[in-house]
Structure formats: C-alpha cells, structure tokens
C-alpha cells in the first residue's frame, strides 16, 4: 500500500540523520512535512526573541532544503491534538512519523496524538535520533533507575557500545516517486511567520551571531572539525567565560533544535580523534555529549525533575521570595559588573559561556541572592538559544548544590572569578559600556572608586549604575550556613541517604581533581 504521510518536525529540524523522515518516505506516494506552532511551547512568555529568531531561521532553512526535493514545509498553528484530526481528514493521511522526544509534556502530547491517529486509522511510527542512545534502555540497564552519577552513566553506555551511526539525508532519488501537493496560496496558508507577525518588536534586536538552520550547523561543524589540534586538546573547564568571542563550539543551540544530529557530531569527533592523543570525558567534546545524555536520562527517570517539590533527588531548601532581587538579576542591574555583563550578553545574544552560567546561577541561588533555582531556570528557558528542558533543569539543580553537586561551601565570587581570565575587564566594557572608562583597578568593583574617578568615568555609582544589591563577603557566608542547615534537615529526614543517592547508584568517592572538573562544566558545547 502506498501511503499518504505526514512527517511531523519538532526538535529534529534537519534532513540528515532523520530516520523518522526516511520511514515516512518508504511506501509513500504523498508526503506533507509539517511543523506545528504549539501554543504550550511556542509562546512569547516562554520563548524570548532570540530563540524565536533562531527557530524561524531553522524553519526557513528546512523549507529551502525541502524545496530542493520538490517538497515544502507546512507550518500550522494550534494544539497538536486539535490540528492533526483536521489534517488527517483534509489530506487523507494514512501514516504519521516523528522523532521521539523524552520531555514530560512531549510524551503526554504524543500519547494523545497517537491515540487520535489510531482511532482514525492512521499508522504511527517514531524513531529515536534526538539523543545518542535510547534513554529508556539506559534506565532499563540501571535496574529501572536513572543513573545519578556521570561515572555510572559512562559504565552503562560502555556496555551498550558506541551510538548508532547517523544516516544520510534523503536524496532526490529517495523522493522520485513521492509528491508533496501544495498550491500557489501555500505561503498564505502554511508559510513561516515573521517575528513581527508573532508579536515581537524587532527594533532593538541585535546582530544575529548564531543563525538557525541545518546548513549553518553543518558549516560550523565542518569549520570546527578542521581544527584537529583544538578538538583533540579541548577541555571544557579550560575555556574562558568572558572572552570577547566564544571559546567553545557554540553548537549547543543547533543540537538543541535538532539542526545538527548529536550522533553526527559524535561520529565526526570520533573521526578526528582516531589515531591521535585526545582529551576524554567528562571534559572532552565527547564528554559534553555524554553530559547531555546524563541529564536527559535524569529528566526521564526522576519525577518532577524541573521542580524542587516532589523531586526525590533534590534537596529541599527554604529559598527566599524577593521580586526586586530577581528583576535586578534578570535585567543585569545587581551592581556587580561581571554578573550584569553576563546577563546583558544573555539577553542580547541568547548565549553565554558555561562558566558564565555557573557564576550567575550561583549568584542567584546559594551564593548571594538566595532565590530558587526554579526562577533562574525560567529565565534561562526564555532567553537561551540552547535552553534544553532536561539540561536546564539539571544544571540549575547542580549549580545551586541542590542535586548532583554537594560542595555548597564552594562559592563563585562575583568579583574575583571574572578577573582570572579578564583582568582589564574588557568583557564588562563590551556589555556595560557605561563602565568602559573605569580603570581596571575598579572595573569589577566600581563602588570602591573615589568620587573623582567616577566623575572622570562619567558614571556615578548609585545614580548611573546601581550599588551592589548585597554585600557578597557577608551574605555568602550566611548562605553557606543556610545551605548547611538544609543539608542537615535532609539528613535528619532520611539519614541513610546523601542528597543525590536516592533512586540511583551509590555515589563513589571523587578525587579532588574530579570535583574541580565536575564543578567547572555546563552543557553548552
């Protein structure tokens, strides 16, 4: 039987390594490539202007690639469970394919759509290609529990062998017998909307440093893979949080949206590594991809993974509620230039280095402001190009010392940390030009500058730039004691377990080197 198919694009916005798309093309006479703007996911509260721009760029790129195969992308707005019955009937669909997704909302949504499809006689096929491995298989191999240490995850995937090799994109020969019916009114009915049509004010939008799309992703991958020495020696903790140009690959947004297949990245790295001395996980580029699997697995295996309450592996902390502090942090006006410069870069560009994420996350939570990691998670979800649900939730728990990482007494200084790699404060001057005339001596602590220097710099602290919202040296010590108390409460409630041992493997004692390496990583390849 020759099918009339919908391939439902979601995160896998690419043609290469797309087994679900290839499954759609088998025994197929007509194909409709569909992307749904789901109001639960694609709304202006949850998604900031930079991620929107990236997504629209990825959709345009995908449509261009489909045109080369004599097809088109159909963009539809609405809840998938409302949209699909209408499309199934309108186009006489007999088969639906999609790439498997592990987020809780996605699993719930896909269950509804699959039930509707079966009621209407539509065959449903999904394939795993957004992650390196089948996440459920990893959990199964760990006695039905999510592995809660990186070492345990490594041990499991070692028994599974290397990830499957990626498959090539469909060729014109693969679609010779397949048609995509579309009309001259296609753009009006199924076209990709503009930012303005989605309600965004683009007047203040800056340069697009990371354009969305599969072709851009593959171009960037090719460029990085030419740097064989850099790839082989790459160690995430050794890269700089405040360099003026990115010191990592910045491929994470492309992997998050599926413009680049994680398996393609893995095997390209394997080719570069072959026969050469190279760094190893957790700090290597392979290691970064395994961190992604680690958090994906935790996201599937741990209930309420993106929340503190009801999350069995998360330390319950009496975080404060302070809207003024939260707004100051989010808007880059805490009075600490290093923190404010990072948050300004995030808002303007949609990406910040993993160690910069460490600094602002620690500052918001256990370091200074004592606000819940869930608040920071929401801001990152809105603003980051690579705001992947499981990685975002997992890393906020890590950096707030709520889960996975427990050295709560190790606090990032909002002053000293940035100085290590940028003594002159060039990064601060780039993102906070108001402070660019301050001497290096005061650029991280402008409130300490004499009035005459502030006047000469054209910036009076407390008037033109805010005073620090807290006194770091005092509040950080107080917060260490508050975190110590939270840990004590957990231990008294359940004395048999450390904060992250529940529902997973028993933690192994780490060396000091391991702790430092673990402390200095964040999944933003």
Return the H-helix or E-strand segment holding 126. strand 123-127
* Nearest CA among 15, 115, 140 for reference residue 68: 15
> What tokens does 428 get?
């601060």
Per-residue DSSP letters for 59-89? HHHHHHHHHTTT---EEEES-HHHHHHHHHH
End-to-end CA distance of the chain: 44
**pLDDT at residue 391, rounded to an integer:** 98
Determine contact, residues 290/282, Cβ cutoff 8 Å.
yes
Q: Which residues of the chain have pLDDT under 70?
A: 494-525
Residue of 260, 271, 100 lying closest to 169 (CA atoms)? 260
The pTM for the full model equals: 0.93
Separation between Cα atoms, residue 369 and residue 452, nearest integer Å? 31
Q: Is the Cα torsion angle 104, 108, 109, 114 positive or negative in sign?
A: positive
95-99 and 74-77 as β-strands: parallel, antiparallel, unpaired? unpaired
402-425 pLDDT, tens digit each: 999 999 999 999 999 999 999 999
pLDDT score, position 117: 98
């Amino acid at each position: 039987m020759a099918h009339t198919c919908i391939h439902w694009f979601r995160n896998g916005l690419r043609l290469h390594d797309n087994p679900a798309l290839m499954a759609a093309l088998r025994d197929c006479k007509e194909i409709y490539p569909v992307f749904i703007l789901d109001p639960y996911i694609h709304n202006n509260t949850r998604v900031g202007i930079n991620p929107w721009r990236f997504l629209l760029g990825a959709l345009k790129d995908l449509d261009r690639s489909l045109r080369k195969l004599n097809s088109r992308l159909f963009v539809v707005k609405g809840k998938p469970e409302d949209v699909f019955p209408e499309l199934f009937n309108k186009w006489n669909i007999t088969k639906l394919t999609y790439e498997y997704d592990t987020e809780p909302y996605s699993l719930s949504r896909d269950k509804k759509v699959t039930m509707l499809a079966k009621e209407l006689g539509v065959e449903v096929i999904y394939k795993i290609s957004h992650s390196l491995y089948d996440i459920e298989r990893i959990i199964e191999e760990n006695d039905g529990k999510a592995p809660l240490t990186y070492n345990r995850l490594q041990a499991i995937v070692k028994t599974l062998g290397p990830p499957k090799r990626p498959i090539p994109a469909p060729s014109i020969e693969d679609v010779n017998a397949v048609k995509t019916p579309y009309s001259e009114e296609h753009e009006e009915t199924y076209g990709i909307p503009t930012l303005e049509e989605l309600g965004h004010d683009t007047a203040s939008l800056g340069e697009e440093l990371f354009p969305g799309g599969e072709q851009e992703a593959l171009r960037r991958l090719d460029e990085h893979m030419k740097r064989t020495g850099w790839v082989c020696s790459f160690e995430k903790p050794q890269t700089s949080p405040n360099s003026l140009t990115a010191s990592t690959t910045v491929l994470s947004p492309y992997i998050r949206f599926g413009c680049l297949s994680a398996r393609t990245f893995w095997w390209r790295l394997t080719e570069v590594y072959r026969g050469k001395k190279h760094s190893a996980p957790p700090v290597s580029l392979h290691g970064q991809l395994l961190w992604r699997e680690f958090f994906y697995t935790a996201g599937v295996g741990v209930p309420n993974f993106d929340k503190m309450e009801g999350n069995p592996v998360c330390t319950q902390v009496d975080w404060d509620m302070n809207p003024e502090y939260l707004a100051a942090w989010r808007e880059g006006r805490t009075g600490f230039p290093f923190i404010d410069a990072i948050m300004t870069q995030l808002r303007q560009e949609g990406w910040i280095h993993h160690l910069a994420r460490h600094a602002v996350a620690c500052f918001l939570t256990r370091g200074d402001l004592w606000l819940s990691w869930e608040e920071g998670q929401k801001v990152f979800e809105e603003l980051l190009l690579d705001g992947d649900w499981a990685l975002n939730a997992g890393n906020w728990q890590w950096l707030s010392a709520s889960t996975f990482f427990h050295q709560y007494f190790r606090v990032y200084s909002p002053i000293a940390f940035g100085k290590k790699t940028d003594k002159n404060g060039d990064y601060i001057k780039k993102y906070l030009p108001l402070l660019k005339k301050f001497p290096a001596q005061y650029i991280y602590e402008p409130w300490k500058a004499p009035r005459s220097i502030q006047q000469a710099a054209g910036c009076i602290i407390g008037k033109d730039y805010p005073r620090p919202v807290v006194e770091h040296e005092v509040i950080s010590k107080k917060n260490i004691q508050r975190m110590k108390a939270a840990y004590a409460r957990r231990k008294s409630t359940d004395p048999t377990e450390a904060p992250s041992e529940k529902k997973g493997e028993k933690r192994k004692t780490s060396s000091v080197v391991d702790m430092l390496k673990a402390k200095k990583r964040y999944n933003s390849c």
